[in-house]
Amino acid sequence: MKTILLLFLMTISMTALQAQTIVKSVEAAESESIDISEIDAQYADALNANEELAVFNDHQSEFFNSYRQLITDIASHLNSNGFLFDGDTRMYTRIYFDMNGTIEHFYYSSDQAGFNKEKEQQFNSLLRPFLSEYQFAQNANQPFAQCSPVVYASSK
């Protein structure tokens, strides 16, 4: 009975870990030898200048509106949890989604944002549970990714 209970708890723990969104700065990923180009290879481009490569080629406007809402929701979540940017903050982001719109990875440039280690840890710890539960409004027939520069406005 103890063995069955232990196996059950391990299975639940593994499922919970797999469902957690990876939130990490590009700089931390590089220092951990994470090759983002390998991750890129597993996801199609949501939008692309070459329309044949874009997952949302026929629905660009809907995708763009959903993506803008995601960025707005992230900013609202950070603000409502006391995360303050030092002035308007520009950062590069790369977001990876599964077919159903669940966010699997969120990478950003900590250096570009001007974060120190403490600010980076706070940013990660606030975003990880939020993005793990966030449901993007679009889905596709394959996993997809979108990168963009984002400017988060100062809430001061």
Based on the structure, what is the number of domains in the chain? 1
115 token code pair? 């974060």
In a domain, 73, yes or no: yes
Give the lowest-confidence range in 97-101, 125-129, 151-155. Answer: 151-155
Instruction: Give the pLDDT of residue 14.
Output: 44
Q: What is the DSSP letter of 87?
A: S
Does residue 3 lie within any of the structural domains?
A: no
Domain assignment of residue 29, yes or no = yes
pLDDT for residue 52: 86
Element (H or E) spanning 96, and its range?
Answer: strand 89-97
Packing angle, helices 117-133 and 60-80, rounded to 10: 120
What does the block give as tokens for 41? 């290879």
Give the SS3 label for residue 67.
helix
58 sits in the region (left: phi over 0; alpha: psi -120 to 50; else beta) called: alpha
Q: Residue 3: which pLDDT band, with cuts at 50, 70 and 90?
A: low
Distances (CA, A) of 71 to 52, 82, 143, 152: 26, 17, 19, 9
- Residue 141: domain span: 20-152
HSE-CB at 138 with a 13 A cutoff on CA atoms is: 27
In a domain? residue 7: no
Residue 144 lies in a domain: yes
For 10-61, how does the pLDDT look when each residue is reduced to its tens digit (9 = 90+)? 444 444 445 689 999 999 999 999 999 999 999 999 998 888 888 998 889 9
Report pLDDT for 1: 55
Closest by alpha carbon to 93, among 101, 83, 102, 103? 103
